Amino acid sequence: MAVSEVVHEPVLVKELLENLAIKANGIYIDGTLGGGGHAQALLEKINSQGVLVGVDQDEEILEKSKVRLEKFRERVKFIHDNFSNIKEILQKEGLKMVDGIYLDLGVSSWQLDQAHRGFSFRKEGPIDMRMNLSQIETALTKIKSSNEKELTDILKEYGEERLAARIARQLIEKAKRHQLQTTLDIAQVAWEAYPPKARHKKIHPATRTFQALRIWVNKELWALEQFLKESPHFLNEKGRLCIISYHSLEDRLVKHAFRKWATQDQRFKVITKKPVIPSQEEIDQNPRARSAKLRTLERLH
């Protein structure tokens, strides 16, 4: 594949495939298909009896992955849905049990690059941030119908932003005065909230605010919690559930849910006592890998 066609550099590919303990004729669910990087690696390992069901709530990226995975079209199905609906997705596909399910959370580099989607504080675009374009509420409508206290809590909880109160106050003020027009207006508020000395650190002042707003708009933690309650039920014997997360809020949910499954039901075992993390070499090549953590749960019998 030519570099210009690569929409997203997948993280921990080898480690994910190892952790899934792939069976050549197995049935797999990719709950976050994205540009199809992990899916392609998996499809190369399964044979014509194997199946991959690829789910993504973003229709635009689903179209991208259809192109990328064209040569595997007989073994792959594309589903526009939220992975929190795993039970309904499997029912609709006529599947009871599967050999592996995996998630690679967050947004892809391709989505970040699309200015019109509003995910990036470096690109001017609408204050949108919806992964699912059929959802009604955007980041802007949510900010407008929020108040200072609620927004402060969101920035604190989902962004772990120290300056949450200051940023929230400005965002609410500017929204009232119709001064929040584009992503760069939000980035500017975060920038100004930081003391000048702190503005040029490794992490841009708007990073945490954008993360928090995105998690809020897309109800990301809620979706993950729903998925964690349901998905292990659908694993075959020796089936594996693998999740790659990128921040501590997600990783904590995964860690606790896996532990709970393993302690309350002896059919399940946590395979990764410690999360699998990328090598320094991978981080050097792909900075997005820096915070990735992979955890795996197995259904033993």
Ligand X SMILES: C[S@@+](CC[C@H](N)C(=O)[O-])C[C@H]1O[C@@H](n2cnc3c(N)ncnc32)[C@H](O)[C@@H]1O
Sheet holding 76-80, edge to edge: 76-80, 51-56, 27-30, 98-104, 235-245, 293-299, 268-270
Closer CB to ligand X, 121 or 194, in the complex: 121
Cβ–Cβ < 8 Å for 5, 65: no
Q: Which stretch binds ligand X (CB under 6 A): 49-57, 136-144, 159-167, 265-273?
A: 49-57
The answer to whether residue 35 forms part of the interface with ligand X (CB under 6 A) is yes
Distance of alpha carbon 225 from alpha carbon 163, whole angstroms: 27
Distance of alpha carbon 273 from alpha carbon 37, whole angstroms: 26
Please state the closest distance from residue 296 (CB atom) to ligand X, in A. 16
The answer to whether residue 38 forms part of the interface with ligand X (CB under 6 A) is yes
Distance of alpha carbon 48 from alpha carbon 75, whole angstroms: 6
DSSP structure class, residue 295: E
Chain positions 220 to 239 lying near ligand X, rule: CB under 6 A, are 223
Amino acid at 275: P
Q: Which stretch binds ligand X (CB under 6 A): 80-88, 153-161, 190-198, 230-238?
A: 80-88
Among 26, 54, 100, 106, binds ligand X (CB under 6 A): 106
Closer CB to ligand X, 78 or 194, in the complex: 78
User: One symbol per residue from 183 to 222: x for binding ligand X (CB under 6 A), - otherwise; what is it?
Assistant: ----------------------------------------
Q: Which stretch binds ligand X (CB under 6 A): 78-86, 138-146, 179-187, 188-196?
A: 78-86
Nearest to 301 by CA among 240, 236, 232: 236
Burial class (CB in 10 A: 0-12, 13-18, 19+), 286: middle
Q: Which stretch binds ligand X (CB under 6 A): 28-36, 172-180, 189-197, 232-240?
A: 28-36
Cβ atoms within 10 Å of 281's Cβ, excluding its own: 9
Give the interface with ligand X as residue ranges (CB under 6 A): 8, 10, 31-32, 34-38, 55-58, 61, 82-84, 104, 106-108, 131, 223
